[in-house]
Structure 1
Amino acid sequence: YPENKSQNLPLLIFQSNGHLHHTNVDNDFDQQLTNEPESAEDINLQTLHPHVSPDGMWLALGGKWGGSAFLNIANGSETGIGRGRAMRVSTWSPDSQRVAYLGHNNQLCFYRLADEATNCPFKAENELLVAKWSPNGEYVAVVVLETAVSTECCLAQVWLFNTLTEEAEIVGNLAVTLEPVVERLLKWLPNSDGLLIHSETNRLPDALYSLEDQATHLFTEPVRDVAPNGRFLLYESGKIGNINGDILFDLPTVESSACPREERPIRSWVWSADGEQIAYTLRCPASDERENWLIIVETATGDKQWEKNLPTNLSLNSWTPDNSSLLLNEYSPLPEEWAIWQISSDGQNPPEKILSQVILLSYVPAWNKE
């Protein structure tokens, strides 16, 4: 594992020098992970998520930072040199031994780190958009593009590939835009009992496919996210519902503001580790640009815990595992203005800038291991 001089929240960050680093909230150590820099202009920091393996030992680079596929975090060695860009949209197996990725010629391929062996057992007729490995390791869900049906773009099929039998079946359909945000199309429930299927247009409804009885539940409105405990859903409209589709409540807005609810889109959000709370930020387009509200709500009841007006450019990144604080990014087109902020989850203290000229990509639980 990476050198860990503190147990205080190991973080994966992107520095303004173009490198990925391992650090912590106290910033009492800093380990550069990548061997070559990557220009911020060449990557989309809003959607960039270099995938750390579940055991914390490997980093899937996707061809960035020098063209390799994987980086051994412990010793800095690279694997799959020159192959990274051909391994699109990778997803780790839960045991960190294999990676599923989208290969050439509409193939779903698997790469085994132990011997660098590759096989591509699934081939579709059309382009593959994304793959997601189930938490129990038994399935890889894949989105396969169908034909374009209008200027709004396309329909797609959702396939389940069985990693044991290497058989695949269609379990659902969705609609995508011309430039789909592929990471949002599929999401597994934490226990692998179901697969959330998200459509980017109103041509098809969002759905939940159940692996237990092969039934599909259609939702009445688009779903944005599912809680870590698998019990609650966040809808695009700002509603919270049960996993069975029942709407529970609308997320509270800021009553002291004159901005109408419909003009308060949720800008960013994070769940607490147990899924019992949700934090989100609201900005009113019609009001002063300094208005950027952070609100904490109990997920089961809708009770507002507190609200606080934040600096304009702050957006939520993660809730710490002990539920004690929230981590936020301050993003700017100018890297020298990047920063990571922290605020206590009880709202008792003002937000504090803890790191400058960096963007927080993710908290990495596995790096807490000795």
Structure 2
Amino acid sequence: MLSGKKILLGITGGIAAYKSAFLARLLVKEGADVQVVLTPGALDFITPLTLSALTGRPVYVHSHDTTTGQWYNHVELGLWADAMVIAPATTNTLAKMAHGHCDNFLLACYLSARCPVFFAPAMDLDMYAHPAVQHSIQTLQTFGCHLIDSESGPLASGLSGKGRMAEPETILAHLQDYFRKRTSLSGKTVLINGGPTYEHIDPVRFIGNHSSGDTAVYLAREAHSRGARVTLVLGPTRYTSHTFPFEVVHVTSALQMHTECLARAASADVIICAAAVADYRPAEYQINKIKKNQDSLSIQLVKNPDILADLCQSKKAHQHIIGFALETENLTQNALTKLHQKKADAIIANSPGPHTGFATPTNQVTILYSDGTIHQSSLVLKNKLASWIWDHISEHFQISQ
């Protein structure tokens, strides 16, 4: 699975760095081409000579050769790699990665990498449990980085608990699983919509909702990482097109999203409607700002087109169409009603709450299929949820076969 893959292995200054030599060896045995980058602090724990002998490549510590002045191109390395693995990832490095600091060559490579980034934290148990460290870890996951979580056991401090770097074999298995999944949607075309829609009342006011678009973005990224051709039709969010390696169509209103989705639907193998589309829009747009010169104001609303229902109505035989349902009561029953009314293949149902729904880093969902099958997730970060959703719908619909 890793034969011919280019792996950029970053090693930081922690006692677990000795394990990274074994990891480098395992990666080479699997046929990977491994390039090691050390932080200056890592030199206290492991030598470049050891790692160069194991990988057959020079090891980089600084951005240039201090003797000859030769410059090493971090951008080139970031483009070269199929995956970057930072193991061990110390507290200091995690914080710098999360906040975009760049005071060593490894961090420059990380900030330039266009490949998936995996990180394996290693530290003492109290450091690992500290809210600041957990915040760094969660922030990196929201960036799309892949956490290879720490394990429990004896620590260098003499204590025992969670904080040990994952074993080299575990890290290897994560990479193998990633590249195995990366081909699962090869040759498939995926259309996803996401985010809110804004229905303008006048030049400064609109009807909208609190959707961040995160779930749709993670679903699109995950589909792309599995080899699919992806188009994301995205309502107003903080995301800009240059952050994505696939096509993004930015829209504002429900009518615009309807037009763009239907125009692209025919070529899609899988369509996921994750957007929080406004059900109604103002019947009349006011060209000038409405003045507050009355005690009350009535705005007539008209129904927006139903994107999911219209997509299902024109569905092709080879297509799988999945919708989302956000319900505040009777979650399962309301989701089943939507599933049957829209004639979708599946509905992904969730409820708003302190840790679920709009504008939260986590979510918990239930997938209800038209054949009666039901799968429920645990409460997880939304990027992990995207992977879980793709695992389940790919298996259920045999999309990769």
TM-score (structure 1 length as normaliser):
0.28
TM-score (structure 2 length as normaliser):
0.26
Say which structure is richer in helix.
Answer: 2
Say which structure is richer in strand.
Answer: 1
